[in-house]
Structure 1
């Protein structure tokens, strides 16, 4: 091992999502390591610039693409060549595609230690069955090439083990952490000024996040009772604009795009929703709880370890717009319940601090190195 351990992180896309935020927080927060961050064809220039300004090397691999099996073998070979050249002590992969590519590349390069973080479960009812079987086969094949599999929740580890991915002793749970203080005592955003109860959803505008479920649920609620704000950007923006217009929600639903002032937006809202079909342990739910917002989210992956159903929010099944509408209706009708759930969430969220996340990852690194 080199005097200062050299650690290579590899992620499929370096965009502005939860997996990227956790990866960047890790390389910026852990001291005593020389980090390099590799990423695939899709990247946000601001994310790359932020890393490089912090003295962290970056490397782009154009053959790493989101669910593109054609480029998988060339990507494995490209990453393996890079790993051999730079002689890293540890490879830490993130997300499905980079996790598979990076672990096979590390095996080819002979990297001494390999860690993989599962940020979100890639298996869901709304996904193509053939693709699901392909991903499962790849995950099973990559697991023996992994020293430690880090999950964002115990439930995710249990799910992977039930699917025959790896062995129990390989798994460690490290909750995604945030800077809790950023979400406390924040001045509300002045442009969040809609009438009624203000409902917020934050996430990449992409398939699987459940925006369609939220719009269907809104059909069952009186329009004058709510104002809805969607924060984020992505490939479904044009579709959502059309759907909002088609349903006559122009006065009810606002698409705010990407915003850097999420704490202020949360401070101005009353309820947070995340009706996703697939997740890990979403940082954005932690942020909402730290902001004192009641949460309505799907009962999947690590979310039940964040949201206590009936105490700090409500859990629903994926795709159940009727249940979402019913739970929102209850929260709209009762300010007292919203306040009680929000207070419970603030108490519960302390286990999801960035300090705890970094300490847990440091322990994994030290054990392997």
Structure 2
């Protein structure tokens, strides 16, 4: 049995998101395995509340931005006091704060990257390439990429290949989802849909600039001609939530498209849907897609980025061209018109998720990274032992 690890997980998330979900899932699993996995998070945030409810040790720190010196000083004090050998930053601001907190120190800096694109510096005025090209000297020692495409983007930005580990997001896949009327009866009333028996499609993900709302709205107008009782749930938080609500209101669809914010029981919502729709996706949405697959929910997604590696068109879901409302409408019509066939797609997707996106595989990948990173380059920064003292 491997020795226990000691890792401080850092997240600046104020609202719930896929990144916060993965941070919490990883910390809880490590704690259950006997590791020490405290979580530094925003006071009163959903992550803070859920981490405490799960019995994790938390470090509530008000983190105002990537250059918050006071927050970095608090993190640095915690690391020094408890001899934390590894800091894992789960978002961009956390990465910058962890870098500040570890300047001149010996802790290993790990950061998760979820999107393709330039890595912003956010620290000491360095250029984007300047920071990413020097991961062993400033900012990050080891990167976790959620996909091979993200890893390639990091490499193109100057990060050494040996400093990047691809670890796919993990979701619970052990229990079979109950896709029945009982689940709907329990899940829909809090959303104002008590007694709803019509078609139900939706999504559960971060609502930001990556969402392609126009094709979905156009599809909803078309689908309602055949299914007047159709309802759509766009669950999640994000910068664009208010914009989405306003656009839905302008289209006079407020009674059809619901934007309730984050839903606590995400698996139950996914199990209640007839179809999961993701017209605009990015690598960071892999958690959402994997969660839908784990819930055996038939899904339609845009063929962008790494999505085709997650969704096999016609086998584990349906893929459409980005921005093509006609193709999106046709795909949703297929799922809603042929529920038994759609259920088969959902079951196949669940089997694929069990093989590719299990929570256990994600946790083991991180534990190997934490335990082996110092051994691969022991003299680079005078790293201490990565096992808990």
Query: Compared with structure 1, are the counterparts of its residues 298 and 97 closer, same or farther at alpha carbon in structure 2 (3 Å cutoff)?
Result: farther
Question: Does 2:249 match 1:256?
Answer: no
In the TM superposition, residue 273 of structure 1 has moved relative to its aligned partner by: 1.2
In the TM superposition, residue 138 of structure 1 has moved relative to its aligned partner by: 4.1
In the TM superposition, residue 333 of structure 1 has moved relative to its aligned partner by: 3.7
Aligned equivalent of 1:29: 29
Q: Deviations over 1:346-365 (max 9, x none)?
A: 22111212122222222222
Question: Does 2:155 match 1:150?
Answer: no
Correspondence list, 1:331-350, <5 A: 331-350=335-354
| Whole-angstrom CA distance in 2 between matches of 1:49 and 1:95 | 18
Query: Compared with structure 1, are the counterparts of its residues 183 and 273 closer, same or farther at alpha carbon in structure 2 (3 Å cutoff)?
Result: farther
Aligned equivalent of 1:167: 160
Query: Compared with structure 1, are the counterparts of its residues 18 and 312 closer, same or farther at alpha carbon in structure 2 (3 Å cutoff)?
Result: same
Query: Compared with structure 1, are the counterparts of its residues 278 and 349 closer, same or farther at alpha carbon in structure 2 (3 Å cutoff)?
Result: closer
TM-score with structure 1 setting the length: 0.81
In the TM superposition, residue 245 of structure 1 has moved relative to its aligned partner by: 2.3
Aligned equivalent of 2:247: 243
Aligned equivalent of 1:102: 98
CA contact (8 A) 1:119 1:280 kept: yes
In the TM superposition, residue 298 of structure 1 has moved relative to its aligned partner by: 2.9
CA contact (8 A) 2:75 2:101 kept: yes
| Equivalent residues, number | 352
Aligned equivalent of 1:353: 358
| Whole-angstrom CA distance in 2 between matches of 1:318 and 1:105 | 41
Q: Secondary structure at the match of 1:312?
A: coil
CA contact (8 A) 1:228 1:253 kept: yes
Task: Please give the root-mean-square deviation of Cα atoms over the aligned residues, in Å.
Answer: 3.2
Q: Secondary structure at the match of 1:189?
A: helix
Q: Secondary structure at the match of 1:109?
A: coil
| Whole-angstrom CA distance in 2 between matches of 1:165 and 1:320 | 35
2:284 to 280, 284, 288: 280
Correspondence list, 1:58-69, <5 A: 58-65=58-65
Structure 2 gaps, min length 5:
120-125, 374-385
Query: Compared with structure 1, are the counterparts of its residues 123 and 271 closer, same or farther at alpha carbon in structure 2 (3 Å cutoff)?
Result: farther
In the TM superposition, residue 336 of structure 1 has moved relative to its aligned partner by: 4.5
CA contact (8 A) 1:174 1:357 kept: yes
In the TM superposition, residue 202 of structure 1 has moved relative to its aligned partner by: 1.0
Question: Does 2:316 match 1:312?
Answer: yes
In the TM superposition, residue 277 of structure 1 has moved relative to its aligned partner by: 4.8
Larger deviation: 320-329 or 172-181?
320-329
Q: Secondary structure at the match of 2:58?
A: strand
| Whole-angstrom CA distance in 1 between matches of 2:335 and 2:4 | 52
Structure 1 gaps, min length 5:
125-132
In the TM superposition, residue 322 of structure 1 has moved relative to its aligned partner by: 4.2
Correspondence list, 1:1-369, <5 A: 5-30=5-30, 31-40=33-42, 44-65=44-65, 71=67, 76=72, 79-111=75-107, 113-121=108-116, 138-142=131-135, 145=138, 146-161=140-155, 163-182=156-175, 184-185=177-178, 187-190=182-185, 191=188, 194=196, 196-225=198-227, 226-280=230-284, 282-351=286-355, 352-368=357-373, 369=386
Q: Secondary structure at the match of 1:19?
A: helix
